Amino acid sequence: MQRQLVQSFRHTWRNVLPAGAPGCSQGTPYSFWVREGDPTKLAVILSGGGACWTGENCALHGKPFYRPFAGLEQDPSNLGGIFDTDNPENPLADYTVVYLPTGNGDLFLGDSVMTYDVPAMGGQPAGEINILHKGYDNAASALDWMFKTYRDPKTVAVMGWSAGAIASPIYTHIVAQHYPDASVTHFADGGGAYRVGEKLAPLFKSWGTANLFKRIIGFEDLSMDGLSFEDLYIRAAELHPQITFHQYNERHDEVQALFMKLVRVDAPDVASNLDDAHAYIRAKIPNFRTFTSWGHDEAIIGGYYDAVLAKNALDNRGRPHVLDRFYTRQTNGVRFLDWFTAAVKGKPVEDVACVDCETPEYHWTRPKLPQ
């Protein structure tokens, strides 16, 4: 009976408008998506969508580096990766999924309202823009709904990709606090290379991140002096030594390089920053594992595809010349899907790191065409 119930809901997403959510960056109502599955198994997913911290990169008529409505306008049913419930290898196919869009330009780390000066650009005169950096309150309202709706899960996987990866350790901590009897796991998809020192300080100031920490039990005394994204992993892992925190990155991630340039890193070196960031975390805590793959792209779990310039490459739900990274990516003979599945189920995994980090490697064989 339970299996039939899961089957009947597996393609159905519903949009939830949570009570008390302050709204997206420019006042749009905030909502999130839920796909019903087994109520004892939850997946909380923080979406990607960029970030902004100045009038120039927040104003929509200029060159915004965030999506103010990311994920709000359409449910993720047509995405691949963890959202592809038709794929029998999807480890989350029978989970109840709570998908939190990002819409505040603050990586879910915001608790402020800012008025930015906007220079003349895009054919518009100089002016001002008001931005609600209220990503924390929006996410908290969604989690509050989840806590009231699913009171006794046995397993909860908390994860984020790109912008959503950064704060995922904090939200893993919040979920683990609320569900002390559940098996809680963590996975972050990207965001591991931002080891840029004091260059993050203006972002935290704009977003009001210090205000957020004062509201989270266990993070109240976390100093803003020299705060790094790596410190979020360390604090969460110290509070929850039974949880292993996992992170995936591509060695030459061009999106991370772009955002490093935006915070005034003149010559971004993603590979070197990854090494420094991982070493910093590992020196502080033992419960941290990484999968560093070849390539230059961003994200793997959210339905992203690798181009394959080969004749008749018509796999993956009819999409031409593409491979769903989540199911086909492999590094040093280790299939990412196997590593991820073990991680979200709370099983031990070893660190994986590419060697040449350029040569594509796939767990995929082209089916033989009929003669």
Query: What structural domains and CATH numbers belong to the chain?
Result: 2-301 (3.40.50.1820)
Q: How many CB atoms lie within 10 A of CB 220?
A: 9
Q: What is the pLDDT of residue 371?
A: 63
What DSSP assignment string belongs to 60-113?
TTS--SB-TTTTTSS-GGG--GGG-TT-TT-TTTTEEEEEE---SSSTT---EE
Q: What is the mean pLDDT of each run of 10 residues along the chain (371 residues)?
A: 44 89 93 96 95 92 79 80 92 97 95 96 91 97 98 98 96 98 98 96 97 97 97 98 98 95 95 98 98 92 74 53 86 97 98 94 76 63
Burial 304-316 (b: 16+ CB within 10 A, else e): bbbebeeeeeebb
Nearest-angstrom CA–CA distance, 276 and 269: 11
Question: Of 99, 125, 111, whose CA–CA distance to 47 is shortest?
Answer: 99
Q: What is the pLDDT of residue 3?
A: 44
Residue at token pair 């969604």: 142
Q: How many CB atoms lie within 10 A of CB 76?
A: 21
Q: What is the pLDDT of residue 75?
A: 85
Nearest-angstrom CA–CA distance, 205 and 48: 21
Q: What is the pLDDT of residue 184?
A: 98
Nearest-angstrom CA–CA distance, 117 and 263: 18
Helices assigned H by DSSP within 245-335: 254-262, 270-284, 325-328
Q: What is the pLDDT of residue 199?
A: 96
Q: What is the pLDDT of residue 316?
A: 55
Q: What is the pLDDT of residue 77?
A: 85
Q: Is the pTM of this model over 0.75?
A: yes
Per the rule left: phi > 0, alpha: psi between -120 and 50, beta: everything else, 336 is: alpha
Helices assigned H by DSSP within the chain: 2-9, 55-58, 135-149, 163-166, 168-178, 201-207, 209-213, 229-239, 254-262, 270-284, 325-328, 336-344
Whether residue 249 contacts residue 190, with contact meaning beta carbons closer than 8 Å, is answered with yes
Q: What is the pLDDT of residue 279?
A: 98
- Identify the burial level of 10 via C-beta atoms within 10 angstroms of its C-beta, where 0-12 means exposed, 13-18 middle and 19 or more buried: middle
Q: What is the pLDDT of residue 82?
A: 96
